[in-house]
Structure 1
Amino acid sequence: MALILLRARANIPVIVCGEAGCGKTSLIAYLALIVEVQFMALNLHAGIDERIIMRFTNDASKKAEKGEIWLFFDEINTCNHIGLLADLISRRMLNGKPIHPNIRLFSACNPYRIRTRTQSKTGLTNKVKIHEEQSRLVYQVKPLPDQILDYVWDYGILKPEDEYRYIQIMIEKELKTLAHPVFAELLYTSQKFIRKVEEPYSVSLRDVIRALTLVKFFYNSLENRPAYEEEHKYPPPGNPTITTRSYVLALSLCYHSRLYDQNLRKQYRREMDQILQNHNSYIGDDVFVKIMREEQEDYINRMQCPPDVANNEALLENVLATIVCILTRIPLFLIGAPSSSKSLAIRLINLNLRGSDSNDEYFRTLPQIYLIPYQCTSSSTSDGIMKIFDKANKYQKTASKQFPIASVVLLDNVDLAEASSFNPLKVLHSLLEPSYPATGPTVSVIGISNRRLDNSKSSRALIVRRYFHNLFICFCKIFLLTIFFLGHKL
């Protein structure tokens, strides 16, 4: 912080470079608040044109007449006009004209780096060859021009002991009476586990914030949720307690569901079980998976499903994650190969969550789901995506306490848009994480994808990844089962 302030005082531009979710934007905004200067931020993406940059800078120049102002350009290396921005940063010139001396320039960017591991073993392989270089990048960004490299400040990553302390503070602040030392250890171990099996930049404090939000949601839901049958008692009294259940369910959605390999899921559950047993939070084996299954079945049993729908593991997981993310407005990406029950889960939820017209007593207390679908293609643009969000926001404003509504943007085949030369998905950064004074998305966002998106988008959403089934093995199993049943009938 001190080094950045010294640069600002000397009127030297600062470009903060770091991984997604490490706190680059929050740091600059917080410093501006501390030193009590005006602060303006512009979220850049491929849809931003020269006119928007000019208008933003001209507005800042007018405000600079009253005193010092900090201009912040977020995601600077995603914009198609990076040459214009480089000239602004290095020479303080915009289209040949000098900017106001009271303006201080700040930027943030993700590193231009080739990934060292396979992006995902789930879903389909990316067969788009036009943008082959971008598909190998950790972030879909452009290299920074040489003229501004001297202003780059490496943000780095949190040290393990600092992250653990941050997690403890966040738990105490957000959960209050629900806080327990075991959850800090569970979260820290979960973060470390994901980094080990994926990449060091795969998780951040954003995941911790989502987990805390889910703990509060599940605790309130389990405390007040009516039973779907008179003789059915859920959650059952005794161990595990509702607090422990809330911890487990939050971890299952934030960390367990993003693991594509069954063996990795088992390994993760064993580590969580061991920590819970060390803290005497419950007694028993495989309680983690039992808690998950009971919650999934409680939701699916409240639904009216077509007779030919099988309650398989993929469907149960997708249904629970989707409902919870819609109600908490946590962005969600459902990732998996075709026939992994992604679209089916959306249809069942849309069919059953109808507000006061729902058949189930608990569902009648929830808002009515209003889906606004958008079919992503390689021709998608930022303007097209923004129009869908504008439509969802307008419909959300019609909600009232008497008739609550949950407006949901459904981005189908969102991975196809990532292959677009327009790079339209960069607009999602500001839509999934609105700038101050907004505290979060105004509508729910669900993305359906056959493969994982780049980390700058994945880090802003909860991820559910279904492991890939070998089609030949599946066909053999179906063939053998068919022969067995036919033979049994004969």
Structure 2
Amino acid sequence: MIILESKKDPYDIQRLNARLGRESLIYHVVPIPETILEYIWNYGFLDGETEIVYIRTMLNKCNELANDTSWYDYTVSLVAISQQFFHVNEDTSSVSLRDVARFCRFYNWLLNLPREFMYENVRTSNQDFTQQTTLVALLLTYYLRLSSSEIREFYLNYITVVLKNKFPDVSHIPIFLTRLLQKQQTNFMAKIKLPLSTAINRALIDNIFVPFACILNRILVILCAKPGSSKTLAVNIILSNLKGKRSNQKLFHTLPELIPSSYQGSQNCTSENVIKLFERAEKYLDIENNTDILPVIVFDEIGLAELSPHNPLKVLHSKLQIETCRYGFVGISNWCLDAAKMKRALYLSCADPNVDDLRLTAETIASSLLANSNRIMPINNSIVKNLAAAYFDLYKHINEQPKYKNYFGLRDFYSLIKGVVNDLVHASTEQESYTCVRRQLAIHFYGIFDGSQFLWKKFCKYAHQEYLIEHEQRPTFNQMIDRSLSLHNSRYLMLIGENENIFNYVE
């Protein structure tokens, strides 16, 4: 166990771990007073055989599952091996029987939903439907919480040991499971009304699909990803779609109306603040005839609240027990909470976008901006694609350097695309287009680490225009400031200086 005398910024902890080679910190703890050491007992954890006995008993709560004895045994094995996967590959405390209880709740919920919600073929036999429901509930509980595509693939290969005997005709079970989940998500997303010009990328789909299931099942969910991963957008989309009888989608009329109770976490947060948040949500439950209302607590920046010296999140332990929770709860954070909180939640870790996700988002942003412009001739779409590929290379490059990790993020990339497209609208020649790209790269990625030069080289390489690397020069600092101040649609500008000279220049 690693003991922290004081709490650190999570990104500082990441850099410390990378530099010292330590494993990721799980708990934020303080030393135990010596006077109570003799009263402490280590209860340990369940061994594999005992855990399977508990799992088998808990799965009796799953409706219709025991009707097929063979599939029931397969389900016990699937849940047990999933628990084992996290015990081995993360930490013994990363999963518990709470995860089994969540699986049971997801299973029953999916089983009782109208099949039109997520299934393309509503005439599927009851046996196939039960099997698909089991697998989707399993992926909801375990698969989507994994933080990268590589680890997710490793998990699917891990549970293939159980499924290969059940589905001998399936040549590649991981692909089968992935496609099954994607089909359910696609059918579900087709019923969701999205804001105009929303890029339906992988992160957004997961960030809508999982909280939707968790909110309706009164399961605490924590969305954890870096800034710009559509976490807040996804929650707002769910809240705007689930309006009870007033929902645009008829299938949602049978679901309760979500009433948000929002809170912005900070390092000054106290337990009293959090208690008042729950009291505000409970007022809706006291309203007569409230069967069609479901309060949803949206706790933004819950990671910052955890850093508060007042330890405000301790009240969550009693409020969010899965057996007694009466409302939805969505926590939004840029980093993981400690294990005591995470075990009480379904933790959704948004995998970093791949180059296809970046291209899709960039093309959607570009299409939206061009639709509102007066440009008649289309812009060269390869510029946007090459910028996405160049940014993906930059992302991999800075992640290999602990000093600059997280120095640039997705919001820098999104703003870059907006700036480039807004400039390209006024460009009349190909050369002017490249000048626009070089200028916007400097505006958004120049700093202590000159990401603009790295991106420019990569962009020219993908565009097969290597001669431009030295031909187009980065604009001067004053030119970048002048442009930022002169355009009404430019990104917000923050100037930090050691004296007032820079501010005098701006004035």
Other-structure match for 1:207: 99
Secondary structure at the counterpart of residue 41 of structure 2: strand
1:219 alignment partner, one of 111, 121, 125: 111
2:11 alignment partner, one of 108, 125, 133: 125
Matched AA of 1:257: L
Q: Matches of 1:334 and 1:391 in 2, distance apart?
A: 22
Count of residues in Structure 1 that have an aligned counterpart in Structure 2? 353
Cα displacement (A) at 1:341: 1.4
Unaligned 5+ runs, structure 1: 1-112, 117-122, 130-134
Question: Are the aligned partners of 1:124 and 1:450 in contact in 2 as well (CA < 8 Å)?
Answer: no
Other-structure match for 1:447: 331
Secondary structure at the counterpart of residue 314 of structure 2: helix
1:403-455 C-alpha deviation (Å, 9 max, x unpaired): 60110000001000111111111111111128xxxx32121110000000000
Change (3 A) 1:115 1:178: farther
Q: Matches of 1:392 and 1:266 in 2, distance apart?
A: 39
Aligned pairs for 1:399-418 (under 5 A) are 400=289, 404-418=292-306
Question: Are the aligned partners of 1:379 and 1:420 in contact in 2 as well (CA < 8 Å)?
Answer: yes
Question: Are the aligned partners of 2:203 and 2:351 in contact in 1 as well (CA < 8 Å)?
Answer: no
Secondary structure at the counterpart of residue 11 of structure 2: coil
Higher helix share: 2
Secondary structure at the counterpart of residue 422 of structure 1: coil
Q: Does 1:277 align with 2:161?
A: no
Aligned pairs for 1:78-117 (under 5 A) are 113-114=1-2
Question: Are the aligned partners of 2:78 and 2:159 in contact in 1 as well (CA < 8 Å)?
Answer: yes
Q: Matches of 2:13 and 2:93 in 1, distance apart?
A: 25
Q: Matches of 1:461 and 1:320 in 2, distance apart?
A: 16
Other-structure match for 2:152: 265
Q: Matches of 2:202 and 2:122 in 1, distance apart?
A: 20
Cα displacement (A) at 1:239: 9.4
Cα displacement (A) at 1:237: 2.1
Secondary structure at the counterpart of residue 205 of structure 2: helix
Unaligned 5+ runs, structure 2: 16-22, 67-71, 363-380, 388-423, 431-507
Q: Matches of 2:234 and 2:344 in 1, distance apart?
A: 22
Change (3 A) 1:399 1:207: farther
1:319-363 C-alpha deviation (Å, 9 max, x unpaired): 111111111000000000111111111111111110001111211
Matched AA of 2:58: M
Question: Are the aligned partners of 1:369 and 1:405 in contact in 2 as well (CA < 8 Å)?
Answer: yes
Other-structure match for 2:247: 358
Q: Matches of 2:127 and 2:208 in 1, distance apart?
A: 23
Cα displacement (A) at 1:186: 0.5
Q: Does 1:459 align with 2:351?
A: no
Secondary structure at the counterpart of residue 153 of structure 1: coil
Cα displacement (A) at 1:136: 7.4
Other-structure match for 2:450: none
Other-structure match for 2:384: 482
Q: Matches of 2:122 and 2:348 in 1, distance apart?
A: 24
Aligned pairs for 1:328-343 (under 5 A) are 328-343=217-232
Secondary structure at the counterpart of residue 421 of structure 1: coil
Other-structure match for 1:317: 206
Other-structure match for 1:167: 55
Q: Matches of 1:299 and 1:136 in 2, distance apart?
A: 35
Matched AA of 2:300: D
Other-structure match for 2:77: 185
Question: Are the aligned partners of 2:301 and 2:331 in contact in 1 as well (CA < 8 Å)?
Answer: yes
Cα displacement (A) at 1:139: 2.7
Q: Matches of 1:337 and 1:456 in 2, distance apart?
A: 22
Q: Matches of 1:200 and 1:165 in 2, distance apart?
A: 18
Matched AA of 2:208: V
Secondary structure at the counterpart of residue 154 of structure 1: coil
Sequence identity (%): 32
Cα displacement (A) at 1:235: 4.2
Q: Matches of 1:257 and 1:165 in 2, distance apart?
A: 25
2:87 alignment partner, one of 174, 190, 195: 195
Moved more, 404-413 or 391-400: 391-400
1:255-305 C-alpha deviation (Å, 9 max, x unpaired): 111111211111212233442231249846422112211221222111221
Question: Are the aligned partners of 2:3 and 2:29 in contact in 1 as well (CA < 8 Å)?
Answer: no
Other-structure match for 2:26: 138
Moved more, 255-264 or 382-391: 255-264
1:78-131 C-alpha deviation (Å, 9 max, x unpaired): xxxxxxxxxxxxxxxxxxxxxxxxxxxxxxxxxxx3189xxxxxx9725799xx
Please give the TM-score of this superposition, normalised by the length of structure 2. Answer: 0.64
Question: Are the aligned partners of 2:115 and 2:122 in contact in 1 as well (CA < 8 Å)?
Answer: no
Cα displacement (A) at 1:176: 5.1
Matched AA of 1:261: S
Secondary structure at the counterpart of residue 344 of structure 2: coil
Q: Matches of 2:254 and 2:3 in 1, distance apart?
A: 45
Question: Are the aligned partners of 2:260 and 2:295 in contact in 1 as well (CA < 8 Å)?
Answer: yes
Secondary structure at the counterpart of residue 310 of structure 1: coil
Question: Are the aligned partners of 1:115 and 1:137 in contact in 2 as well (CA < 8 Å)?
Answer: no
Change (3 A) 1:395 1:463: same
Secondary structure at the counterpart of residue 373 of structure 1: strand
Question: Are the aligned partners of 1:126 and 1:451 in contact in 2 as well (CA < 8 Å)?
Answer: no
Q: Does 1:302 align with 2:191?
A: yes
Change (3 A) 1:392 1:334: same
| Higher relative contact order (CA closer than 8 Å, sequence separation 6+) | 1
Higher strand share: 1
